[in-house]
Structure formats: structure tokens, C-alpha cells
Amino acid sequence: MIQQETEVTGRSREAVLTDMDEKLTIMEEAVRRGIEEDVKSVSGLTGGDGKKLEKYIENGNGLSGDTLLRAVSRAMATNEVNAAMGMICATPTAGSAGVVPGTLFSLKDKLNPTREAMQRYLLTSGAFGLVVANNASISGAAGGCQAEVGSAAGMAAAAAVELAGGTPKQSAEAMAMALKNMLGLVCDPVAGLVEVPCVKRNAAGASIAMVAADMALAGIESRIPCDEVIDAMYRIGESMSETLKETALGGLAATPTGKALESQIFDLSAERT
Amino acid sequence: MKYRSVTEIIGPIMVGPSSSHTAGAARIGRLARLLFDGQPKRVNIHLYGSFAKTYKGHGTDVALIGGLLDFDTFDERIRDAKEHASNANMRVRFHEEEAIPDHPNTVKLRLESDDNAMELVGISIGGGKIEIIELNGFALQLTGHHPALLIVHQDRYGVIANVANVLALHKVNIGHMKVSRKEKGREALMVIEVDQTVTDEIMTSLEKLEHVDQVAKLHE
């Protein structure tokens, strides 16, 4: 990835790593804000859940294991900061920005990686993301949520394998297994906001990424190769109804509660202006 | 390949909530300002597809205005862009269009000042990446992968050769070039993607050429 990047952009290896390092700093700060501060989105729909889960983990009664739950809480934290129009780094998009850093900053506690290993984690996830972006899509409006949180889960799973010392082949298997389980996921944001269900889909994306990474590290392989899963994701996105591709016309956006929230939010903002 | 750099996947650094609807929109606005060569007084913004349906929730409106004010994707002033616009005497009107575009995130901007007008159609293709697909009625494809020159000129013989000549003199290689015109002998547009940096000196030489009306450069 570094070699390709220096060839394509003409930047030095040093510059590529420095760029990733700056992004790590932005991500870490977003996670910190989300789990320490009382973040609330403009609409009031989201905020505070990452912090809530972090507290729950500290109490020690979590069912799923702390590393998995921390990936989830930190993914939600990032997305809550995003929904509050805070500063984040898109990975690969803003709506799916929680999965890659959430997983990383949970694994950081467990594996104590060097800063350079963390930069490489981002580059690995970026390399897998590039393949998806060029062969399928990373846009919810074009391919549904599977293209956003699905891609992010695959990217995070692949990078987590590398961070834990797995092979490139295992990374590809992890991505395949994560993305497979996100296929068909629609993009149906309530009121068109990147909040409901985005924050909780980032939570699920992070947990799938962690589990897929563990499965790949255990030697489990995907029956359908990674490239074909990506291709399937593209074709599913093509056949998905427009109402389920970031138009806020179908799915959860069209539920009675979704509709009620929508009119509440827009009546409020109409009053304000 | 549409995406070539890892920074297009890991990035951009931005204020939320949507890379396509917020960061991409800010980039389209900013690019429009750059091509317009300054701040417009009036802007009409036509939103299509998903942009039209969800712009309020995504802050697409404030992001476009922010871009028109030269704010980058991570500029936190985007949140209050409407206020900044009225302080800067820039009037912006939004129009929600029903027509179904080829790409779901399509926006048409018409920028005006007292003596200048420009129309641009941009699309936001995911992860903050954008393309400009139309300028003043000319279809074009600018990926932003390479430095690009946009040259508005009169459709006369020798203009293309003169432009190529200036670039050659400065050892600038042309990677891709497209010339279009509205009508024989009238306004025409050259879109040139080059491999090297386009210096101010080159820009000045190009602007001085006969039958060349406007020169703009784009770097990404």
C-alpha cells in the first residue's frame, strides 16, 4: 500500500505515514470526546450511548468480553461525534466512520501496538477499502449501508488480523466473512440524518469485524472468495430499491416512529429559522 | 480506477455528518468558487436525488455554502455557514428538484456577480470524492487525480496549438485533453489534465494568448 501510494501521489513514504498519523490523532480525539463528554446531535436523536456502554464495561458485567464491547462503544462514540457535526475522519465514509477506529482503539488496549503498527492498520484497512471502492461502491446512496458500514467492517476485520500478526490471506478471509454478513443491508436513515440507525449499525459493524478477525485468525476460511463477495455486494446494491438507498423513503425511515421523529425534527428546525 | 489514493478511503478529515453529503458538498462549493475566481454575490443551488431528499439533515446546504466561502471540509465554521454568508453579502437560494439524475448526489450551482456568471454541475460519488460533470453547459470529466487546466476560449484555428506550445515550453506534459464547443466559431472549452505543476508564470502566458478568455487551474 505504501509503495502504491508513493507511486500514485508522488509523496514520500514519510509523508504517507505522517498523514496517517494525523488521522490517528483526529480519530483518537473523536473517540475520547464520545466516551468522556456528553455529546448530543443537533436533532437530539443520538448521543451518549458510547459513553453509556463504556461505563457498563467498567462495571465488569459485560456478557460479550471487554475487547469486543470496547470496539462497539468506541465505534458508537465516533459516530455520535460525527452526528453532532464534530470533527472525524471518514473511513471510508462519515456515516461509517466509527467501525475502523472503534476496532483499532479497542485493540490498542489489548495488543499495545506501536504508533507505526497503528499507522499500518489504517493503511491496511485503506488498501482493502480501495479494492471495494473501485470494484463495488462505498456510497450508501449508490449501494446501501452494506457499501458503507459493510465495507468498513470488512476493512476493519482485515486490518485487525494484520495488527494481531495474521497473514495477508487471513486478512482477506476476515474481510470476506465480515462483508458477507453485511450483504443486503439497506441505507434507511430516519429523517435523512446520519444518526438512526447509523450509530448502532457502526456498533454492529465493529462487532462483526472483531468476530470475523478472530475467525480468520483461527484458520476459518470463507467459502466464497473475498473478491466475489465484493462483486456480490455491488450487484446487490444495483438491484436495491431507490427507497432503500439514502433517500429516507423506505425501511426504518418509513416506520411510524421514524416518520413521527422526522416531522418532530423538521417542525422544530422550521420554528427556529 | 476511480479511487487511487488511500487518503480517499482513510479520510477526509471533516466535520460530520456525511462524507458524500457534507464533505463532498463542501468540496463542490469550494471548487465552484475557485473556477468562478472569487466570491459570487448570488448563488442558485439546485439539488437532485438524494441531495434533494436529505440535504437538511446532512447539512448539505451549509456545506455547499461553506465551500462557496472557501471553507475546507474540516472547517468548523461550516456549521454557521449561513450566517457567514449573509455577513459576506452572498445570497444563496436552494431549489429541490424532482428530476431523477444519473447520479443520486447531484447538484447544479449557478454563481453570479455583477459582471460574471457561471453554471456548474457536480456529483458526490462517495467518501467525500467529487466530480465536476458540467461547466457552462459543457460536459466534462474532472477526476481531480491530476492538475487540470480549464481554458474558456473562442473557437478559432491555432488556439489549441498555442496553448499546447506554452505547456511544451515549460516542459509540462499533457495526459488527457478534451475540447468542446457550443457552436462553430463561438465559445469553446479546453479541459487539460497535466502531469506537472502549473506555475503562475504558465497561467499568465496562457491568459495572454489571443482568443483565450479565461484560464483556471485545479489541483487536488
Host H or E run for residue B178:
strand B174-181
Q: Find, in chain A, the residue whose alpha carbon is nearest to that of B5.
A: A5
Burial of B112 (0-12, 13-18, 19+ CB in 10 A): middle
Q: What band does A272 get if pLDDT is binned at 50, 70 and 90?
A: very low
| Mean pLDDT, rounded, for A57-73 | 96
Category of B88 on φ-ψ map: left (φ > 0), alpha (ψ -120 to 50) or beta: alpha
Specify the pTM.
0.85
The whole-angstrom separation of Cα B146 and Cα A8 is: 10
In chain B, where the domains are located: 6-135, 148-218
CB contact under 8 A, B12 and A90: yes
The whole-angstrom separation of Cα A152 and Cα A158 is: 10
Q: CA of A28, closest CA in chain B: separation in Å? A: 13
Nearest to B1 among A20, A134, A192 (CB): A134
Please list every residue in chain B whose beta carbon sits closer than 8 Å to the beta carbon of residue A83. 16-17
Per residue in A79-114, pLDDT tens? Answer: 999 999 999 999 999 999 999 999 999 999 999 999
Q: Taking 80 as the threshold, does the pLDDT of residue A270 lie above it? A: no
The whole-angstrom separation of Cα A231 and Cα A252 is: 26
CATH of B148-218, picked from 3.30.70.260, 3.40.640.10, 3.80.10.10, 3.90.550.10, is: 3.30.70.260
pLDDT in tens, chain B (220 residues): 778 889 999 999 999 899 999 999 999 999 899 888 889 999 999 999 889 988 887 899 999 999 999 999 999 999 999 999 999 999 999 999 999 888 889 999 999 999 889 999 999 988 888 888 998 888 887 766 788 898 989 999 999 999 999 999 999 999 999 998 888 998 899 999 998 888 889 999 999 999 998 888 876 4
Host H or E run for residue B163:
helix B159-169
Q: CA of B212, closest CA in chain A: separation in Å? A: 31
Residues from B in contact with A at Cβ < 8 Å: 1-23, 49-50, 53-59, 74, 76, 78-79, 103-105, 125-128
The whole-angstrom separation of Cα B72 and Cα B80 is: 14
Grid coordinates belonging to B89:
453579502
Q: Find, in chain B, the residue whose alpha carbon is nearest to that of A127.
A: B6
The whole-angstrom separation of Cα B104 and Cα B49 is: 5
Q: Comparing C-alpha atoms, which of A195, A194, A204 is closest to residue A73?
A: A204
Query: ipTM above 0.90?
Result: yes
Q: Look at domain B6-135 and name its CATH class.
A: alpha beta
The whole-angstrom separation of Cα A138 and Cα A147 is: 5
CB contact under 8 A, A87 and B59: no
Q: DSSP string of A211-236?
A: HHHHHHHTT---SS-HHHHHHHHHHH
DSSP-based three-state secondary structure for A273 = coil
In chain A, where the domains are located: 2-28+104-267
Q: CA of A193, closest CA in chain B: separation in Å? A: 5
CB A182 within 8 A of CB A174: no
Grid coordinates belonging to B85:
454568508
Nearest to B6 among A82, A130, A193 (CB): A130
The whole-angstrom separation of Cα B54 and Cα A247 is: 7
CB A102 within 8 A of CB A75: yes
Nearest to A130 among B3, B15, B50 (CB): B3
Q: CA of A61, closest CA in chain B: separation in Å? A: 33
Per residue in A137-148, pLDDT tens? Answer: 998 988 999 999
- Which pLDDT score is estimated for A271? 46
- Note whether B6-135 and B148-218 share their fold: no
